[in-house]
């Protein structure tokens, strides 16, 4: 597959997301799943962690926004986070994106529980992101075109989102990495934790699902992408009740 100019191979969005593979899918399932059998570890080692997704294509210049506030964020903060998450993994012709997969709900739950210490970092970071957008692109982040949103997010990612009164605490890259990490977790983690709605993330990357055993035949099918998917939470197994 080549790009439109025929100069070099093009990497599809699915290829990029599939590098998240089981590494992302297994991020929020019990450690015991990977220790039940040696065969199970073959799934987790099938792919590596994903690269930056800012700049991924979207079918239009406007993305869906969540209207109401989350438990831990105001309505305005929720809109900014919604737009940011939508650019990290947008919905397109290949399947649902982060918003459709319930990533915002996952993040909100995480900020109420395991990641409660990050709630203030989200609030200050989202305010700084919006301030930087106004300062450098002439408008609030949610009103920018997707191209300008991606450009802003790249600045934030590489730590270049600076300037008088922007407001990032430390490097803007730390904020970007936090949100990106939580977006992957919500997209590809176990749905028990509030994301990966209807296993949308696993379907998108063709993740074969949580298994307690892998036969040699299963491993062979996995290696040629012919292993039938198992769509169930790790917590559906009685061992984790």
The CA distance from 70 to 58, in Å, is: 25
In a domain, 177, yes or no: yes
pLDDT score of 137 = 94
Please say whether the beta carbons of 122 and 108 come within 8 A.
Answer: no
In a domain, 35, yes or no: yes
In a domain, 163, yes or no: yes
The CA distance from 166 to 132, in Å, is: 6
pLDDT score of 64 = 43
Give the DSSP letter string of 42-90: HHHTSS------TT---SSS------S--SSS-HHHHHHHHHHHHHHS-
pLDDT score of 209 = 82
pLDDT score of 95 = 86
In a domain, 48, yes or no: yes
Number of structural domains the chain divides into: 1
What is the residue range of 161's domain? Answer: 13-240
pLDDT score of 26 = 42
In a domain, 4, yes or no: no
pLDDT score of 4 = 42
In a domain, 7, yes or no: no
Q: How many CB atoms lie within 10 A of CB 214?
A: 20
In a domain, 122, yes or no: yes
Question: Which residues in the chain show pLDDT less than 70?
Answer: 1-69, 163-164, 240-241
pLDDT score of 239 = 76
pLDDT score of 81 = 97
- Which residues 6+ apart lie within 8 Å of 114 measured at CB? none
pLDDT score of 163 = 66
pLDDT score of 101 = 94
Q: What is the pLDDT of residues 122-171, one digit of tens each?
A: 999 999 999 999 999 999 999 999 999 999 999 999 999 976 578 888 88
pLDDT score of 47 = 31
In a domain, 118, yes or no: yes
């Amino acid at each position: 597959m080549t790009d439109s100019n025929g100069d070099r191979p093009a990497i599809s969005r699915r290829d990029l997301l599939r590098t998240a593979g089981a590494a992302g899918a297994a991020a929020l399932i019990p450690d015991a799943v990977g220790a039940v059998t040696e065969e199970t570890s073959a799934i987790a080692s099938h792919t590596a962690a994903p690269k930056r997704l800012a700049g991924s294509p979207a079918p239009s210049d406007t993305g869906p926004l969540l209207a109401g506030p989350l438990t831990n964020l105001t309505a305005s903060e929720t809109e900014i986070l919604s737009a940011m998450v939508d650019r990290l993994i947008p919905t397109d012709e290949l399947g649902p994106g982060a918003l459709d997969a319930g990533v915002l709900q996952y993040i909100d739950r995480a900020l109420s529980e395991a990641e409660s210490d990050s709630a203030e970092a989200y609030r200050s970071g989202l305010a700084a992101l919006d301030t930087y957008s106004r300062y450098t692109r002439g408008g609030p982040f949610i009103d920018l075109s997707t191209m300008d949103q991606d450009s802003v997010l790249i600045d934030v990612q590489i730590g270049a989102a600076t300037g008088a009164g922007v407001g990032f605490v430390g490097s803007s890259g730390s904020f970007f990495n936090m949100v990106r990490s939580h977006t992957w977790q919500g997209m590809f983690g176990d749905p028990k934790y509030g994301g990966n709605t209807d296993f949308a993330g696993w379907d998108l990357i063709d993740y074969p699902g949580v298994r307690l055993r892998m036969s040699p035949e299963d491993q062979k099918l996995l290696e040629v992408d012919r292993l039938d998917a198992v769509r169930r939470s790790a917590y559906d197994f009685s061992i984790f009740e």
